[in-house]
Protein backbone atom coordinates (compact mmCIF):
# COMPACT_ATOMS: atom_id res chain seq x y z
CA UNK A 1 0.00 0.00 0.00
CA UNK A 2 1.25 3.46 -0.90
CA UNK A 3 0.38 6.74 0.72
CA UNK A 4 0.85 9.79 -1.40
CA UNK A 5 3.12 12.36 0.26
CA UNK A 6 0.63 15.13 -0.55
CA UNK A 7 -2.12 13.43 1.40
CA UNK A 8 0.20 12.90 4.35
CA UNK A 9 1.28 16.52 4.39
CA UNK A 10 -2.30 17.68 4.10
CA UNK A 11 -3.32 15.61 7.09
CA UNK A 12 -0.39 16.92 9.11
CA UNK A 13 -1.31 20.52 8.34
CA UNK A 14 -4.88 19.87 9.29
CA UNK A 15 -3.79 18.38 12.59
CA UNK A 16 -1.44 21.22 13.44
CA UNK A 17 -4.09 23.79 12.57
CA UNK A 18 -6.47 22.19 15.02
CA UNK A 19 -3.78 21.20 17.51
CA UNK A 20 -3.05 22.98 20.73
CA UNK A 21 -6.73 23.26 21.44
CA UNK A 22 -8.18 23.18 24.89
CA UNK A 23 -7.05 26.67 25.74
CA UNK A 24 -9.75 28.59 27.54
CA UNK A 25 -8.57 31.79 25.94
CA UNK A 26 -9.74 32.71 22.49
CA UNK A 27 -6.94 33.47 20.06
CA UNK A 28 -5.87 37.05 19.58
CA UNK A 29 -3.31 36.39 16.86
CA UNK A 30 -4.32 39.50 14.94
CA UNK A 31 -3.89 41.72 17.97
CA UNK A 32 -7.62 42.19 18.40
CA UNK A 33 -9.35 41.18 21.59
CA UNK A 34 -12.52 39.49 20.42
CA UNK A 35 -15.36 39.04 22.87
CA UNK A 36 -18.50 37.19 21.84
CA UNK A 37 -21.83 37.87 23.52
CA UNK A 38 -24.17 34.93 23.79
CA UNK A 39 -27.93 35.16 24.28
CA UNK A 40 -27.77 32.86 27.29
CA UNK A 41 -26.27 35.97 28.89
CA UNK A 42 -22.69 34.90 28.88
CA UNK A 43 -19.47 35.69 27.08
CA UNK A 44 -17.56 33.10 25.11
CA UNK A 45 -14.84 32.94 27.77
CA UNK A 46 -14.42 33.65 31.46
CA UNK A 47 -11.01 35.21 30.96
CA UNK A 48 -9.39 37.17 28.18
CA UNK A 49 -5.87 38.40 27.66
CA UNK A 50 -4.45 41.44 25.92
CA UNK A 51 -1.16 43.25 25.57
CA UNK A 52 -0.87 46.56 27.42
CA UNK A 53 -1.28 49.75 25.45
CA UNK A 54 -3.89 50.46 22.83
CA UNK A 55 -6.16 47.45 22.96
CA UNK A 56 -8.50 46.95 20.02
CA UNK A 57 -11.70 45.27 21.10
CA UNK A 58 -14.18 43.64 18.80
CA UNK A 59 -17.50 42.80 20.40
CA UNK A 60 -19.45 40.24 18.43
CA UNK A 61 -23.06 39.25 18.98
CA UNK A 62 -23.86 35.59 18.56
CA UNK A 63 -27.61 35.87 19.00
CA UNK A 64 -30.35 38.45 18.85
CA UNK A 65 -30.55 40.21 22.21
CA UNK A 66 -28.88 43.52 22.89
CA UNK A 67 -25.72 43.39 24.95
CA UNK A 68 -23.12 45.90 26.01
CA UNK A 69 -19.48 45.60 26.93
CA UNK A 70 -17.65 47.81 29.32
CA UNK A 71 -14.73 47.68 31.74
CA UNK A 72 -15.35 48.01 35.44
CA UNK A 73 -14.08 51.38 36.59
CA UNK A 74 -13.51 52.55 33.01
CA UNK A 75 -17.12 52.72 31.92
CA UNK A 76 -16.61 56.19 30.45
CA UNK A 77 -13.75 54.96 28.27
CA UNK A 78 -15.33 51.88 26.77
CA UNK A 79 -18.96 51.18 26.11
CA UNK A 80 -19.81 48.94 23.20
CA UNK A 81 -23.29 47.83 22.27
CA UNK A 82 -24.47 45.11 19.94
CA UNK A 83 -28.02 44.20 19.05
CA UNK A 84 -29.01 46.32 16.09
CA UNK A 85 -25.50 45.75 14.78
CA UNK A 86 -23.82 42.43 15.29
CA UNK A 87 -20.30 43.80 15.68
CA UNK A 88 -18.99 46.84 17.54
CA UNK A 89 -15.37 47.87 17.84
CA UNK A 90 -13.36 50.34 19.88
CA UNK A 91 -9.90 50.81 21.31
CA UNK A 92 -8.98 51.52 24.88
CA UNK A 93 -5.63 52.27 26.46
CA UNK A 94 -4.94 49.79 29.25
CA UNK A 95 -2.08 49.54 31.70
CA UNK A 96 -0.94 46.08 32.76
CA UNK A 97 -3.29 44.68 35.35
CA UNK A 98 -6.47 42.79 35.93
CA UNK A 99 -9.79 44.15 34.78
CA UNK A 100 -13.38 43.03 34.75
CA UNK A 101 -15.41 43.10 31.57
CA UNK A 102 -19.16 43.06 31.87
CA UNK A 103 -22.47 43.77 30.19
CA UNK A 104 -24.27 46.60 31.97
CA UNK A 105 -27.80 45.75 30.87
CA UNK A 106 -29.90 45.15 33.98
CA UNK A 107 -29.49 41.62 35.26
CA UNK A 108 -27.02 40.46 32.62
CA UNK A 109 -23.88 40.71 34.71
CA UNK A 110 -25.49 38.74 37.51
CA UNK A 111 -26.52 36.11 34.96
CA UNK A 112 -22.93 35.58 33.92
CA UNK A 113 -21.97 38.37 31.56
CA UNK A 114 -18.72 39.20 33.28
CA UNK A 115 -15.22 38.05 32.54
CA UNK A 116 -11.71 38.77 33.68
CA UNK A 117 -9.30 40.61 31.42
CA UNK A 118 -5.62 40.12 32.04
CA UNK A 119 -3.44 42.83 30.52
CA UNK A 120 0.30 42.29 30.52
Q: What are phi and psi of 55, to 5 degrees?
A: -105, 120
CB of 34 to Cu ion, least distance (A): 16
Cβ-based nearer residue to Cu ion, 36 or 105: 105
No. of H helices and E strands in the chain?
A: 2, 9
Determine if 45 is a binding residue for Cu ion (CB under 5 A): no
Span from 4-12, 51-59, 60-68, 85-93 in contact with Cu ion (CB under 5 A): 60-68
Which run of H or E residues covers position 16?
helix 5-18
Q: What are phi and psi of 83, to 5 degrees?
A: 155, -70
CB of 82 to Cu ion, least distance (A): 9
Residue selected from 50, 57, 92, 103 as contacting Cu ion according to rule CB under 5 A:
103
Strands 87-94, 53-62: parallel, antiparallel or unpaired by DSSP? antiparallel
Residue selected from 67, 71, 81, 115 as contacting Cu ion according to rule CB under 5 A:
67
Q: What are phi and psi of 45, to 5 degrees?
A: -150, 160
Cβ-based nearer residue to Cu ion, 40 or 98: 40
Q: Which residues bind Cu ion (CB under 5 A)?
A: 67, 103, 105, 108, 113
Amino acid sequence: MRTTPAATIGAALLLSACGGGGSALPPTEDGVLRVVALDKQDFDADMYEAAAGEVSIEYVLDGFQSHTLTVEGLEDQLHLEVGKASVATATINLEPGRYMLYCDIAGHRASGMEARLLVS
